[in-house]
Amino acid sequence: MPDVTIRLTVNGRPRTATVPARTSLADLLRDHLHLTGTHLGCEQGVCGACTVRLDELPVRACLTLAAACDGSEVVTVEGLDDPDADRLRACFSREGGLQCGFCTPGMLVSAHDLVRRRTVLDRDELCLALAGNVCRCTGYLGIVRAVGAAIAEGIEAEA
């Protein structure tokens, strides 16, 4: 299998890596760039533990080939560094959205996307929006409350 050289920006830093062509973005992040906050669960795109932001959209890093990300911007859970992320982490803590922590990185990246959109969502809409992220500890109630609160606080902060 041939190697490819990939140049991308990860968490605001330009990065270059040479990896086998079939390397997933998750493996690039974890094994080559040592960003282990991106968790691998099912490795089939079902659980959402590996969710990262790729060019402003949440994606499953286990299903995304690293070579396809050449020239892209990637934000992992380690790179969530803005007032929305701070607000979201505080809400997760306050509302009991943290349990074992395995789903938390992917859940935070997905939720951060929702918080940045500033769209009020009811409980059912929040559940649907987060459905691609599996929490095996049944922490959904706290997570849904936390994301809803972070969205509301973000809207209030802009008012």
* Residue at a domain's end among 29, 54, 79: 79
- Asked if 105 and 76 touch (Cβ cutoff 8 Å), the reply is yes
pLDDT value of residue 138: 75
- Asked if 4 and 19 touch (Cβ cutoff 8 Å), the reply is yes
- As beta bridge partners, residue 14 has 9
pTM over cut 0.85: yes
Shared domain for 71 and 11, answered yes or no, is yes
CA–CA gap between residue 40 and residue 53 (Å, rounded): 15
Shared domain for 99 and 60, answered yes or no, is no
pLDDT value of residue 100: 87
pLDDT tens sequence across 88-113: 999 999 999 988 889 999 999 999 99
CA–CA gap between residue 93 and residue 32 (Å, rounded): 31
Shared domain for 74 and 88, answered yes or no, is no
Shared domain for 11 and 38, answered yes or no, is yes
pLDDT value of residue 139: 74
Regions in the chain scoring below 50 on pLDDT: none
Shared domain for 60 and 90, answered yes or no, is no
pLDDT value of residue 95: 94
pLDDT value of residue 159: 81
- Can you tell me which residue has the tokens 């943290």? 98
Shared domain for 57 and 113, answered yes or no, is no
